[in-house]
Amino acid sequence: MSASSSFPRLRRAALALAAMSALGAQAQTVPELTALAAKEQPALMKTLQQLVEIESGSSDRQGLDRIAGVIAQRLRDLGGQVQLIDPDTTIASPTSDAGDGPAKVGQVVRASFKGGNANGKRLMLIAHMDTVYQRGGLKQQPFRIDGNHAYGLGIADDKQGVATILHALALLKSVGFKDYAEITVLINGDEEIGSPGSNPLITALGGEHDAVLSFEGGGGPTTPDTVRLATSGIASVDLKVKGRSSHAGAAPEKGINALTELSHQILQTRDLSDPKRGLHLNWTMSKAGSVRNAIPERAEAQADARADRFADFDALEAELRKRIQNKLVPDAEVTLSFNRGRPPLSATDASRALAAKVKALADEQKLELVVRDRPTGGGTDAAYASLATKAPVIEGLGVRGYGAHSSDSEYVVVDAIAPKLVLVTRLVMAIGSGKAL
């Protein structure tokens, strides 16, 4: 064959290769992506180990700075334009859903990946790097693999989410997929305390994108993969009683027993939950007195409140304030504060439509997937992302696992990693190119 006769074939091959590069992974079949994900999984496991071995409790600024630096560099290596952002805690005080928190919250890692299609879609991928654990917990819960479970501190909530995002981006890069306008990655360090510093940024960016994908865990160890379109709103209630101390043996009648009044208040509000409406009020913490032989002068209790609709908190607060006027100890002073925290995420027509696409993609790769459009009590940063947008917001795109917030049994399911990586990669392709929206 002459050089002149082979040139057209070479040119056609080059044009075909260029076309495939432009389309990126659209040209990849499910089996091809499955094979690529299987090859990627060992690297993802190493990433999980690296992240788990950095202790990053919400109050551990040293650990959070360290893990933020690692994540930022990984995103730079993947081609992202990366910023490390100190949240403006003057917007919202750094307190948690439970009413406490560090003086200064952790940084936010923000990365932008510019695509090759100006008419494509803009996606935001979110996860968090902070955990509920105190420094030193790694000794009791080190990274380890036991059969089909990978254990570790914060591995399910939410270091698997960070790792899934990093390696989905790696897969997209490996196949040259650029058929999108922009992908934004946002990893915050204050999720476990209600995202007091990062939530304004999450809300603002949510309004600038065509879809938001959140990477909290995607189901339990024995259940199908699950994505969620709705999560609960969270509030905290702080009840305080002021009485008067006196000798419990010699002059109890001269005291005003704050503990007695607190107990009365808790008992008379025990019927305010309405599970059918997704409204829950649970008293979870209390304290009173300082010594056994003195009538307690002060007592206080805290409650966790959940609602499917933020407006339900208004009615709950009004009823609480009404009931505390009914006192058992007339001279006791009773005060109540009601603090609204994380908003609920509600299912929308847009999120249901995108979830149907996720389900279809899962069916194509024979991955069992359940879509839940009713809250089950948990809160999520995806709710903040939904506040300023009508675009679809989907939660639960991380890996299945178990034991979040537990001291010795948090794990992810190893054989669930690669299938979820394939699904996420295909979903990003479908959204970015406009085929899913």
Annotated active-site positions, please? 130, 191
Type of residue found at 363: D
90: tokens are 């003057």
Cβ-contact 272, 338 below 8 angstroms: no
Q: What angle do CA 172, 173, 177 make, to 5 degrees?
A: 60
Non-local (6+) Cβ contacts of 275 within 8 A are none
Q: Where are the beta strands (DSSP E) in 189-224?
A: 211-214
Polymer length of the chain: 437
Q: State the Cα–Cα distance between residues 33 and 312, nearest whole angstrom.
A: 45
Q: Where are the beta strands (DSSP E) in 294-341?
A: 298-307, 333-340
Q: State the Cα–Cα distance between residues 68 and 83, nearest whole angstrom.
A: 10
Using the 8-state DSSP alphabet, how is residue 304 labeled?
E
- Computed on alpha carbons and rounded to an integer, the radius of gyration of the chain in Å comes to 26
Type of residue found at 388: A
Cβ-contact 288, 298 below 8 angstroms: yes
Which DSSP string corresponds to 380-419? -THHHHHTT--S-EEB--S--EE-TT-SS--EEEGGGHHH
Cβ-contact 155, 407 below 8 angstroms: no
- Nearest Cα to 192, choosing from 381, 403, 400? 381
